[in-house]
Amino acid sequence: MTPAQPAQRAQHAQRAHADLPHGIPADLPHGIPVEDTREMLDQQVEVLELIARATPLPDVLTRLLAALERLMPGARCSVLLLDRAHGTLHHGAAPTLPATYIAGIEGMRIGDGAGSCGTAAALNTPVVAVDVRTDPRWVAFRHLAQAAGLLSCWSSPIHGRDGMPVGTFAVYHPTPHHPTAREEFLVGRFTHLAAVAIDHAGLVGALVDSEERFRRSFDGNSLGMAILAADRTISTCNPALERLAGRRGALRGGSLVGLDLADLVTPTTSTLDEHLHPLSTDEDAVVVFEGRLHRTPPARATRAAQATRAAQATRTTQATQPTRPGTAPLTGVEVEVTVSRLRTRHGIPAQLLVNVLDLTERRAAERHRRARLQAETRRRTAECTREPSPTCSRR
């Protein structure tokens, strides 16, 4: 090689990097063909599309590893997922590893000396075992690797948002092997992509779990509950509210979904708008009022509510009686209504949550107590009338 040749090669490399297609990283190590980077970029786009379509994590990781194996002929790749609570690693994906080897390392505890993956997860640093037959960290797993035809293993921690491992990304070879600069670059890129997939799956899983817990609490609650859209129409409600309104299933007009809250509930005093106004000025406000829940079919309820709201418009906010001369009395189930804002997982106020408590039993108990008190008063009055005494005069 002449002295001019290295300079010429550097110039060619610089021109190659300058001519890289849009989207291909400019920080490529020398010696990585542009064709490889094009394929890497295509695979990255494909994997991100899978993530966007909510493809199950094992499928995303399998496609990711298969793509890397095409870029690194002879390599076998795997992803293990870390159970932080128990400090164990579990199968994520390994499209070309033998099933016996996958089963043999399933649930392995992490720690310094627990093979390449267990050590990488415990120390949060890449671990290269050039030859597992002589590497002291592979004593406990050496027989499994040799039986599977795996003689080298290089493992990198997959980092979560907090910078701590959520799994490991391993590359195996059938012969003793040390990673090249090209391989380090490719694995670094694909490890990051695996982190994105795992993080997304974790967020989706947490959201699904949260929604499932909310759904069980919502549907199984004995309290009538509804979620309102921005226009105050019911977007969903639980069976307890439909039973309370007498409209479960096809019964008396069907579901309450799509019905305006004002067509379902009429406040005893003031108007619904006035009761709900604090929610427009205070995101943390909780509104409580009593009213009547209509048990008529939706079409009839709408007309009745419109007539009632028109009558209410003539009232003063200080009115204490549910009716006035010339207006129809409020009908339906006596209820206590609580309204508050539901927030998104980002803390942004979104829909309205409505709880409806049936006051029928409470009102019946109150009437019963009043009747007993009145009866007791009449009895004592009658006794005093028949037999006047100093005690009667003090009453």
Please name which of 100, 202, 108 lies closest in space to residue 155, comparing C-alpha atoms.
Answer: 108
The amino acid at residue 254 is G
pTM of the model: 0.54
Q: Which of 37-41, 185-189, 297-301, 314-318 holds the top average pLDDT?
A: 185-189
The amino acid at residue 27 is D
Q: How confident is the model at residue 29 (pLDDT cuts 50, 70, 90)?
A: low
Give the C-alpha distances (Å, rounded to integers) separating 100 from 93, 103, 166, 168, 349. Answer: 14, 5, 24, 19, 51
Tell me the per-residue pLDDT of 112-128, one tens digit each, with 9 for 90 and over.
999 999 999 999 999 99
Q: How confident is the model at residue 28 (pLDDT cuts 50, 70, 90)?
A: low
Quick check: 129 and 117 in contact, CB under 8 A?
A: no
CA–CA dist 312, 251 (Å, integer)? 29
Tell me the per-residue pLDDT of 321-364, one tens digit each, with 9 for 90 and over.
444 434 445 568 889 898 988 766 555 567 888 989 888 877 77
Q: What percent of the chain has pLDDT over 70?
A: 73
pLDDT of residue 301: 43
- Angle of helix 34-52 relative to helix 57-71, nearest 10 degrees, comes to 170
Residue 170 structure tokens: 């391993």
Torsion, Cα of 240, 242, 247, 248 (10° steps): -60
Vertex 66, ends 60 and 71: CA angle to 5°?
130
CA atoms within 13 A on the CB side of 346: 2
Could you tell me which residues come within 8 angstroms of residue 327 by beta carbon, excluding any fewer than 6 positions away? 308, 311, 314
Q: How confident is the model at residue 35 (pLDDT cuts 50, 70, 90)?
A: confident
CA–CA dist 53, 197 (Å, integer)? 12
Q: For tokens 């002295």, what's the residue?
A: 3
Q: Does position 199 have pLDDT exceeding 60, yes or no?
A: yes
Quick check: 312 and 330 in contact, CB under 8 A?
A: no
Bridge partner residues of 272 (DSSP): none
Tell me the per-residue pLDDT of 250-270, one tens digit each, with 9 for 90 and over.
333 347 888 999 999 999 999
Quick check: 204 and 345 in contact, CB under 8 A?
A: no
Greater confidence, 223 or 85?
85
Quick check: 224 and 339 in contact, CB under 8 A?
A: no
Of 177-181, 188-192, 323-327, 330-334, the one with minimum mean pLDDT is: 323-327
Quick check: 170 and 80 in contact, CB under 8 A?
A: yes
pLDDT of residue 11: 44
Q: How many other C-beta atoms lie within 10 A of the C-beta of residue 264?
A: 30
Please name which of 116, 117, 125, 114 lies closest in space to residue 167, comparing C-alpha atoms.
Answer: 117
Tell me the per-residue pLDDT of 228-250, one tens digit each, with 9 for 90 and over.
988 899 988 888 898 888 865 43
Q: How confident is the model at residue 39 (pLDDT cuts 50, 70, 90)?
A: confident
DSSP E strands: which ranges in 116-272? 127-129, 152-159, 165-173, 224-228, 234-237, 265-267
Tell me the per-residue pLDDT of 288-307, one tens digit each, with 9 for 90 and over.
899 999 875 444 444 444 55
Q: H helices of the chain, where?
A: 4-18, 34-52, 57-71, 99-105, 115-123, 142-147, 181-220, 239-245, 261-264, 272-276, 278-281, 298-312, 360-386, 390-394
Class (C level, CATH) for 14-208: alpha beta
Q: How many other C-beta atoms lie within 10 A of the C-beta of residue 263?
A: 24
Do domains 14-208 and 227-358 share one topology? The answer is yes
The amino acid at residue 266 is T
CATH 3.30.450.20 assigned to domain 227-358? The reply is yes
Could you tell me which residues come within 8 angstroms of residue 64 by beta carbon, excluding any fewer than 6 positions away? 43, 47, 79, 93, 190, 193, 194, 197
Q: Which long-range contacts (CB under 8 A, 24 or more apart) does 343-350 make?
A: 345/207, 345/210, 349/283
The full set of domain ranges for the chain reads: 14-208, 227-358
